[in-house]
Amino acid sequence: MERLIIAVAVLPLISALFIQLFAGRFGRSIARLSVAMTTLSFLLSGLLLALAISGSENLAIPLGSSAAVLLFDPLSTLLATIILGISLIVHLYSVRYMAEEAGYGQFFVLLDMMTAALLFMVIAGDLITLVISWYLVGVILYFLLGQDTRSQTAYRFAFWTLITYRLGDLPLILAAALLFNAYDTWSLTIIFSEVMANPDAHQVLGLPLTDVVAALIGLAAFARSAQFLLHTWLPYTMDGPTPVSALMHAGIVNAGGFLINRFAPVFIHSSEVLHWIFIVGLITAIFGSLLMLTQNDIKKALGYSTMGQMGFMIMECGIGAFSLAIYHMFAHGVFKGTMFLSAGGVINQAREDDGIPKDELYTFAVEKRPNKARYPWLLMAVVTLLVPLVILVFAHLLVSEDYFQKQGAIVLLFFGWVTGAQLIFATYKMRSQNVWRLVGLSILSLLIVVLGYVFISHAFDQFLYPDAAFQAQLYSAANIDSLSFDVLVVIVTLIIVSGWGMTYFSEQYGHRRAQKSKRLWLNFYALISREFYVSDVYTRLSRTLLTMSSRLNVWLRWL
Amino acid sequence: MPDLLSILLIAIFLPLFPMSMVFNALLENIKPNGLRVLLFILWPLIGVLIAINSEFVIPGWLLPLALSTSLLYAIRLLTLREVNQWTGFLATSTWSLLWLPVIEGNSAELLYGFAIGMSVPLVLLVLLAAGLERRFGAAYTGLYGGLARTIPRYAGVLVTVVIAAVATPLFPTFFFMLDMVVETISTTPSAALVLLFIWLFWSWAGARLIQGLIVGRASHNKIADMSIASISFYSIVLIVLMLGGIYLAGAIL
């Protein structure tokens, strides 16, 4: 077992070293070695995952006599397999995609090093290995994004990524230093067992250590997972090669969710931090989705889509659904990776034939011509609001009867209900010969999606956090008092329902919109089109710092 | 020797502002590369030697001054374009932090280890700057650029050396910085925060230096790339440096 884990992490490193040394001799065929090593590592990680699923004991494996420790546990084996799976696809894709590019061998060296850094990050059993791999991911990504060394733009945005990642390193380093000072060990296993045994044993500046560490870990995760105000690098890093974009959006950006999961024992004992994480995730999800919808550049739209998804992932952590965040990370990774890798093919196809069928969906979504026919409103309201709710409640009851005792579950249910209702609401308005058939199909797809999501996320829950008490603690750590929760649910429901009402009235009486509201709308559009001026503010701040640096040099006569 | 005099003397070699200007003025006026290399190796060692052989009471203002000096030079580093001057400022910023283990009362071996581990990448950078001056007449960012396409082997080594110099894992300066954060976080958390920002500025400056030199189109002129023997030399030194970093980590963490 020990050798297996070490082999999984070390194989990509060996591949990188070999390519660096012999790329000149073997030419472009050297890429096959990289693919072979990644395949082997992927198979071994699959074997480890199978062992973990079959119930093998968790292990902490020291690397020689050093403080470095590798972990064999459900989280590390699952994520190692996902990383290697995505990395293998990216490797296979890159063999031909990058063939015409300069620095072909170097690209595979960096790709292998990135794979190794990500693997070490997820299997790290001590704080030093975790900090080192966390740090190196940012550095390697900088060079991967700057693969085209002729492009100043690619490097400009790679730099944004690097500096945001470095900012995210700082809280992790601080958290590591605080934990080491408190527990006198780098081992995560020992630290977590001591935190679980006596969570209030240590304080920092008068605050509980668990709160401070959880907040720092949250900050590190925000920078890595492009949460609002630390997101600007993500939509702009599209000048890098497509396989790198795929790897970044499908894997690297998810690291925030992993980090929060890894420190779950600390989050259980933190008081308010999960609530803040939820709020940041929620804001990111809203802003990401809003900005995605208003982009006219498809790549930036994809970038903002990832930002929105990362917001959802962090939000899931904030409600205590830690394992769901891992499932989200996996599902989003596969989905977004496919989108990026197939983008080239789709563009080529579209040049020959746009392939858009001029059917009901096209008329509704692209031509924006909704169905004018009227149906009995009460019947439609009942179908819209009740059907998704029944499906969600039924699916959740199938996996766990006490599911609705958790506030986090209610939040998830709420989101599912709103999404489902929105789906059915949109279906009526499509021009269709048989609207009931369309509604039926929508409900059927909703049923399949919800059942699939509920069963898989339940399986993830059982695998990652098999201890029911620990799982319950995660949810209860995210709880707020019942009255506030109920009030919030009512407020959010009112906001959503009034949103639907506004949409309806805007479509019915939009032409009568007052001049004042039009101006307001245009101002709002201007704000969105400038992406809320976040990157402008950062550019201004960095220019100020550089001006200050320059002036200092002049005043001090360059000495 | 009175305390203040000792500190002033050490402050020339383990630079504290404004004494830090002495080293940078000297560096600007020394042209032979051999002497520059010697300067980068000996300067911090002399400082450490005097520090461990002097007996003085450490005043309270020393830690803030050392951190301020390091921060000042880290910020000034951001807009430097001449590689030798850049190396001098980075040296000033890193060596001034050697005061922290002096204040913490670390052993002489460890202090020498830190000083050497910090200086070796700077020495390599001086040698690389000399190579650029030979090839292009100046080692200056943004002047010619495109080194990754013009002289790819040279650019590769340059990038690795800059990475080593700005405290990236697994090089010694990384472990030094990590150790200093761990040492200061419990006693003076503000010092740990300043250290982290200094570290951030180094990375920022390193990225600007790399971008100014390696990014861009290939030069039309034929320029000799680094020889295999030179690559082997740099690679061996960097590997030894990395192993030294891991060894240092074992000793301090």
Contact B70, B16 (CB under 8 A): no
C-alpha span between B92 and B25 (Å, rounded): 12
| Number of compact structural domains in chain B | 1
Q: What SS3 state is found at B116?
A: helix
Q: Report the candidate in A113, A99, A118 with the shortest Cα–Cα distance to residue A32.
A: A99
Burial class (CB in 10 A: 0-12, 13-18, 19+), B189: middle
pLDDT tens track for A184-236 = 999 999 999 999 999 989 999 899 999 999 999 999 999 999 999 999 999 88
Chain B nearest-CA residue for A547: B79
pLDDT truncated to tens, each residue of chain B (253 aa)? 567 888 999 999 999 999 999 999 999 999 899 999 999 999 999 999 999 998 888 899 999 999 999 999 999 999 999 999 999 999 999 999 999 999 988 899 999 999 999 999 999 999 999 999 999 999 998 888 899 999 999 999 999 999 999 999 999 999 999 999 999 998 899 999 999 999 999 999 999 999 999 999 988 888 999 999 999 999 999 999 999 999 988 887 7
Contact B217 A150 (CB under 8 A): yes
Closest Cβ opposite residue B203 in set A162, A550, A553: A162
Contact B13, B46 (CB under 8 A): yes
Contact A163 B207 (CB under 8 A): yes
Chain A nearest-CA residue for B146: A150
Contact B85 A558 (CB under 8 A): yes
Contacts of A107 (CB under 8 A, 6+ apart): A94, A98, A101, A144, A147, A241
Contact B199, B190 (CB under 8 A): no
Question: What DSSP state is assigned to residue A70?
Answer: E
Q: Report the candidate in A156, A329, A117, A349 with the shortest Cα–Cα distance to residue A240.
A: A156
Contact A178 B148 (CB under 8 A): no
End-to-end CA distance of chain A: 57
Q: What distance in Å separates residue B25's CA from the closest CA in chain A?
A: 6
Token pair, residue A57, equals 């004991």
pLDDT tens track for A9-52 = 999 999 999 999 888 788 788 899 999 999 999 999 999 999 99
pLDDT tens track for A186-199 = 999 999 999 999 99
Q: What SS3 state is found at B18?
A: coil
C-alpha span between A476 and A274 (Å, rounded): 10
Contact A326, A460 (CB under 8 A): yes
Contact B215 A67 (CB under 8 A): no
Chain B nearest-CA residue for A154: B215
Token pair, residue A296, equals 């006219």
Contact B180, B100 (CB under 8 A): yes
Token pair, residue A155, equals 């490097």
Q: What SS3 state is found at A355?
A: coil
Token pair, residue A133, equals 């791999």
pLDDT tens track for A242-253 = 899 999 998 899
Statement: residue A441 has pLDDT above 90:
no
C-alpha span between B117 and B109 (Å, rounded): 12
Statement: residue A448 has pLDDT above 90:
no
Token pair, residue B104, equals 């913490």
Bridge partners for A62 per DSSP: A69
Token pair, residue B210, equals 């790399």
* Cis ω for the linkage preceding A235 (within 30 of 0): no
pLDDT band at A364 (very low <50, low <70, confident <90, very high): low
Contacts of A455 (CB under 8 A, 6+ apart): A398, A399
Range of the domain at B242: 3-252
Contact B71, B15 (CB under 8 A): no
End-to-end CA distance of chain B: 35
Contact residues, chain B, for A148 at CB < 8 Å: none
Contacts of A135 (CB under 8 A, 6+ apart): A169, B168, B169, B174
Q: Report the candidate in A16, A135, A2 with the shortest Cα–Cα distance to residue A63.
A: A2
The CA R_g of chain A, rounded to the nearest whole Å, is 25
Q: Where are the beta strands (DSSP E) in B10-165?
A: none
Average pLDDT over residues A159-177: 96
Contact B184, B191 (CB under 8 A): yes
Torsion angle (degrees, nearest 10) of CA A309, A218, A10, A466? -80
Contact residues, chain A, for B159 at CB < 8 Å: 143
C-alpha span between A439 and A140 (Å, rounded): 48
C-alpha span between B18 and A442 (Å, rounded): 73
C-alpha span between B36 and A422 (Å, rounded): 70
Interface test with B, best of A549, A552, A554, A555 (most B CBs within 10 A): A549
Contact residues, chain A, for B246 at CB < 8 Å: 66
* Cis ω for the linkage preceding B90 (within 30 of 0): no
